[in-house]
Chains A and B, each alone.
Chain A
Amino acid sequence: MAQGIFGFLENDLMVYIANALKLPLSRVYGVATFYHFFRLKPKGEHTFVLCTGTACYVKGANEIQKTVEHHCGCKFGETTKDNKVSLISARCVGSCGLAPVAVLDDTVAGKLTAAEAVKRIEQWQDEKKEAAA
């Protein structure tokens, strides 16, 4: 819930939650770090969630992963330096019929290729340049 409001869980927020629920901070921190869904750092403006499920793996998701990582200069689980794009890998988004799949800012892109993935990320990065200009 708190993550929905603030976007991520910073330390002060977890302290607040622990106090409000009268729980030890260790319990709150434990839960927050245990699950993939909670983030302790802010995420970038756009998110690129690549599915690394079995079907996507068999269909070549790791090629996309390599290309995208190379393009962004950061690994999955990190955010680009300009805070523009967060790369996240998901276990399975459940659209295996369309593998390989990525979720780009909440829209699912099926039957993705490495070239197309890079193109989409470039579009996001260009947006910023346009805005700056």
Chain B
Amino acid sequence: MTVEDLRELAEKEQARQAEFKYRILYCSSAGCVSSGCDTVKNELKKAIVDLDLSKKCEIIGTGCLGLCGEGPLVIVHPDMTLYQHVDAAAARRIIEEHVGQGRKLKDNELDLNDPFFASQKKIVLENMGKINAESIEEYIAADGYEALAKALTEMVPEEVIGEIRKAGLRGRGGAGYPTGLKWDIVRKGVSDQKYVVCNADEGDPGAFMDRSVLEGDPHRVLEGMAIAGYAVGANQGFIYVRAEYPLAIDRLRTAIKQAERLGLLGNRIFESQFYFRIDIRIGAGAFVCGEETALLRSVMGRRGRPKVRPPYPSERGLWDKPTVINNVETYANVAPILRNGSAWFAEIGTQKSTGTKVFAIAGNVKRPGLIEVPMGIPLRKIVFDIGGGTPEGTQFKAAQAGGPSGGCIPTEHLDIAVDYESLQTVGAMMGSGGMIIIDNTSNMVEVAKYFSEFCMDESCGKCIPCRVGTKHIYMMLDKIIKGDATESDFELLKELCVMVKETSLCGLGQSAPNGVLSTIRFFKEEYLAKLKKSDGNVHSPQNSPVTAAKEA
């Protein structure tokens, strides 16, 4: 395949699409699959045959349309009408009325000027609702693989890295390490073999961004990885996906096959000397494998246990070779940056945190779903304008960002800007982008207990602070909830949290107490309300910290 071939393919596909007066795309992401989009698809197809409209419109499965709670969703092109709660009857009406007579269905129509859509800025999710998730031709027609072509034919690896650096792209997995810098280290590493790894082990409960990207636009990730491979001089890529995402694995397999068939992966890509292949590795369900060193060990078929850094994976990663490891969303940003230039990307977001971030909003919020917003957007906007606030009769209490290792952000900090640095100032973190909205029906101590239970179960057991510490944190919280704890227990809990945080080996342990610490910081009164009053009992032996620790 040459660049000309690619353009020709794109034009051919665009011409094919132009033949249809209407293109009806239904959301085929896991959220809508569970709401019953298969029935909708079958009914749409049946109605088209019944009414003999198959030359006029086509039915396509697309990526996540965002409003997962209102599914199944259907979008009609070219007039961009979005329908919610589409059942079999509504599906038939879409064909009969909208396609047949050009009349929109008023009862199911969603307003695209609604803040939910209007406040968003889509880069990573730009193809959601536009292309068929399982067709490489449609991806190419939407400028797909154009960035890879540009990199291979017009740029040297240093220039590619330079562009990524100038764009200011930072790791979207949560830590926010500058991607260009990471790639540069790997490129400079001297080795006969280097690797590119994609971290798609999205273990945070409440997070489904990576899954949606892989399901809706898998080629974007492959393209980003191939560009990374070219930039650092690697010819082998691995995608580590969790086994809980069968649909994403399926779509990735299809996408890799399609790309290999067209020569966009494999030998002599775009007639250059560059060759690159990508393999899938399926995780077997361990949260700690989202940690990069643990993930790499898991890719090698070992037990997924983290190891001490440095050396970092960029120096000694897979089989001790220099390895680039980035998150799905990071790779998904690469192609648009090369296509549109670093200056375009750097203008979006804030100065230090450029670009956009995809969030998965869930929990007690009116409109859960998948959103993409520019960095630095106030949290209030995400919760109330986009998420629609909490359900009737309840009040917003906190937003929990960053999964079990993140922190809770209370009402008084609602105006905080959502970027890497600002979130850290309130003890939360960007994380991979899961955001759970908690309302006043939940008790924060119990929420903290839930998170500590999670971390306790998922601790790999390698280092003692994490293995024993998380267990004790959990037991102390349990004691507080049962009403058996005293103030000295509370003090001890705080001390223990700091200890676990500072002495654990990997990210899991270091961030495990965050949930507890941030709830203590902002919702201390809820803890205090559950403590036993220390009237006269302070000196009894069972209240001394030592016995409390032993009991725990």
Give me the interface of A with B, judged by CB distance under 8 Å. Answer: 27, 30-31, 34-38, 51-59, 90-99, 101, 107-110
A94-B244 contact in complex given A55-B206, A55-B362, A59-B364, C-beta closer than 8 Å: yes
Closest B residue to A53 using CB positions = B205
Closest 3 interchain pairs by CB? A97-B68, A53-B205, A36-B285
Provide the residues of chain A in CB contact with B438, threshold 8 Å: 58
Contact in complex: B403, A54 (CB < 8 Å): yes
B363 within 8 A of A: yes
B306 within 8 A of A: no
List CB contacts (< 8 Å) of B14-69 with chain A.
30-31, 33-35, 67-69
Provide the residues of chain A in CB contact with B244, threshold 8 Å: 90-94
A35-B285 contact in complex given A54-B363, A95-B34, C-beta closer than 8 Å: yes
Provide the residues of chain A in CB contact with B35, threshold 8 Å: 98, 110
Contact in complex: A54, B450 (CB < 8 Å): yes
List CB contacts (< 8 Å) of B159-217 with chain A.
202-208, 211
Closest B residue to A3 using CB positions = B284
Contact in complex: A98, B285 (CB < 8 Å): no
| Tally of chain B residues near chain A (CB < 8 A) | 51
Contact in complex: A91, B436 (CB < 8 Å): no
Contact in complex: A58, B30 (CB < 8 Å): no
Min Cβ gap A39→B in Å is 11
Provide the residues of chain A in CB contact with B287, threshold 8 Å: 91
Min Cβ gap B127→A in Å is 19
Contact in complex: A54, B304 (CB < 8 Å): no
Give me the interface of B with A, judged by CB distance under 8 Å. Answer: 30-31, 33-35, 67-69, 71, 202-208, 211, 243-245, 283-287, 301-305, 360, 362-364, 368-370, 400, 403-404, 434, 436-438, 442, 447, 450-451, 454, 458, 460
Min Cβ gap A44→B in Å is 19
A10 to B369: give the CA distance in the assembly, Å.
Answer: 41
A93 to B202: give the CA distance in the assembly, Å.
Answer: 10
Contact in complex: B285, A54 (CB < 8 Å): no
Provide the residues of chain A in CB contact with B305, threshold 8 Å: 34
Closest A residue to B453 using CB positions = A52
- Apart from A27-B302, A55-B368, A58-B364, list 19 A-B contacts with CB within 8 A: A30-B303, A34-B303, A36-B286, A53-B206, A54-B400, A54-B451, A55-B205, A55-B362, A57-B205, A59-B363, A91-B205, A91-B244, A91-B285, A92-B204, A96-B205, A96-B368, A97-B369, A99-B363, A110-B31
Contact in complex: A110, B206 (CB < 8 Å): no
Contact in complex: B368, A94 (CB < 8 Å): no
A49 to B482: give the CA distance in the assembly, Å.
Answer: 28
Min Cβ gap A103→B in Å is 9
Contact in complex: A109, B34 (CB < 8 Å): yes
Closest B residue to A93 using CB positions = B244
A33 to B304: give the CA distance in the assembly, Å.
Answer: 11
Other-chain contact of B211, A27, A56, A59, A94 (Cβ < 8 Å):
A94
Closest B residue to A62 using CB positions = B450
A95-B208 contact in complex given A34-B304, A35-B285, A109-B34, C-beta closer than 8 Å: yes
A96-B30 contact in complex given A35-B304, A58-B438, A91-B203, C-beta closer than 8 Å: no
Can you spell out 9 A-B residue pairs with CB atoms less than 8 angstroms apart? A35-B284, A35-B285, A36-B284, A38-B284, A54-B404, A55-B363, A58-B442, A58-B447, A101-B34
Contact in complex: A55, B436 (CB < 8 Å): yes
A37-B243 contact in complex given A31-B301, A94-B30, A94-B202, C-beta closer than 8 Å: yes
Min Cβ gap A50→B in Å is 12
Contact in complex: B303, A31 (CB < 8 Å): yes
Closest B residue to A110 using CB positions = B34
A109 to B69: give the CA distance in the assembly, Å.
Answer: 13
Other-chain contact of A108, B34, B204, B283, B436 (Cβ < 8 Å):
B34
Contact in complex: A95, B363 (CB < 8 Å): no
A54-B31 contact in complex given A94-B244, A97-B68, A99-B363, C-beta closer than 8 Å: no
A58 to B434: give the CA distance in the assembly, Å.
Answer: 14
A95 to B246: give the CA distance in the assembly, Å.
Answer: 13
